[in-house]
Amino acid sequence: MIGCIRKDNEQMPLARLIGDAEQFSVIERVRAIIRQEAAALETLANRVDEHICTIADHILSSTGIVVVCGIGKSRLVGEKISATLASTGTPSITLDPVDALHGDLGRVRPGDIILAISNSGETAELIQLIRSVRRLSVVVAAMTGSATSSLAQAADVVLDIGQMQEACALGLAPTTSMMAMAAMGDALALILQERRGFTRQDFARLHPSGSLGHQLMRVRDVMCPLGSIPVIGPDTPLSLALLSMCCASRKLGVAAIVGEQCKVVGILIGESIGRLVERGATLDLNDPVKQHMQQPHTTISEHASLGQAAQLFRQHEIELVPVHDDQERVIGLISRQNVQKLV
């Protein structure tokens, strides 16, 4: 029995719940949709030609950015493409054609690459935008399902995805075509990434937060460099060492005790000195700091991963580890607390 709800004074049917007997046919329909989209991607792969190389060359030789434009579902796909470009080393923004025609065209600069997305290639606002932007020295690339469309004819270069049969039973909802455009956008972004020589370190720089970025970060990315830590000799009087810690630009409460050849021989921790005073110990401020410093159990390379640093802290049950460069010279300190925040 089909129920109904009232909305705006109209009777609207409620779809029946899926019964056990129908589950098999539903599952088969889902599989058919996925297979149809997979087949569309295979067809798209066979359609790829030298035009994607032309677009890549324009982008790589340009001093501008990639401006991705679209309306409706194409706009949503464009946002994904633009985000993938930006995160893999190709500067990119999205631009709504309607907003562009009402002032946001000022975001476009000479040297930019316009990537206009429309399955039909007849989106009026997008075509009007292309005509307006022609006053600037830009390259217009079109991604469309019709190589003979108005958009394709207005563009400098065309990525033709071909006519796609939508997976929607009505043949109307943009599904297969949008997936094909997203895949073509991924391909463009990734060949640009590879041709730029974009490295794991570059990726980490653009993804400083989240699990992806943290996996790629190195000790040098989170350490406290020596420039922010007092560096003193082992024979420095305790009074001067404590004063230098108080006057440091970053009051971290620590000082690195460095001996010959820039080797760390110890770490002076203000908190440890404070605990001694709280317990009633009498300190001679003329004592050399080597009498109060903590000798480092180990050091770690600036190139080590945060995972390796976390393992080192667990192994030695310490709070601070000196960081050294390729010449074994100390260049900073890394703390357990900073690593735990990220790993």
41-81, pLDDT tens digit by residue? 999 999 999 999 999 999 999 999 999 999 999 999 999 99
Q: The pTM is what? A: 0.68
Return the pLDDT at 130: 94
194-207, pLDDT tens digit by residue? 999 998 778 877 77
Based on C-alpha coordinates, what's the Rg of the chain? 31
Q: Which domains does the chain have, with CATH numbers?
A: 22-198 (3.40.50.10490), 216-342 (3.10.580.10)
263-296, pLDDT tens digit by residue? 778 888 877 788 878 887 878 888 888 888 888 7
- Read off the amino acid at residue 176: T
- The winner for highest mean pLDDT among 1-5, 104-108, 200-204 is 104-108
- The winner for highest mean pLDDT among 58-67, 301-310, 313-322 is 58-67
d(CA 152, CA 146): 7
The arithmetic mean of pLDDT across residues 132-154, rounded, is: 94
Checking if the pLDDT of 239 tops 50, the result is yes
Return the pLDDT at 178: 95
The arithmetic mean of pLDDT across residues 297-319, rounded, is: 86
Q: Contact at 8 Å (CB) between 333 and 321?
A: yes
Return the pLDDT at 251: 64
- The pairing of strands 66-70 and 113-118 is parallel
By C-alpha distance, which of 165, 150, 162, 164 is closest to 116?
150
Checking if the pLDDT of 119 tops 80, the result is yes
By C-alpha distance, which of 4, 3, 192, 167 is closest to 82?
192
Checking if the pLDDT of 129 tops 90, the result is yes
Query: Could you tell me the maximum CA-CA distance found in the chain, to the nearest angstrom?
Result: 92
Q: Contact at 8 Å (CB) between 304 and 218?
A: yes
Classify 316 as helix, strand or coil.
Answer: helix
- The pairing of strands 4-7 and 92-95 is unpaired
Burial 184-206 (b: 16+ CB within 10 A, else e): bbebbbebbbeeeebeeeebbee
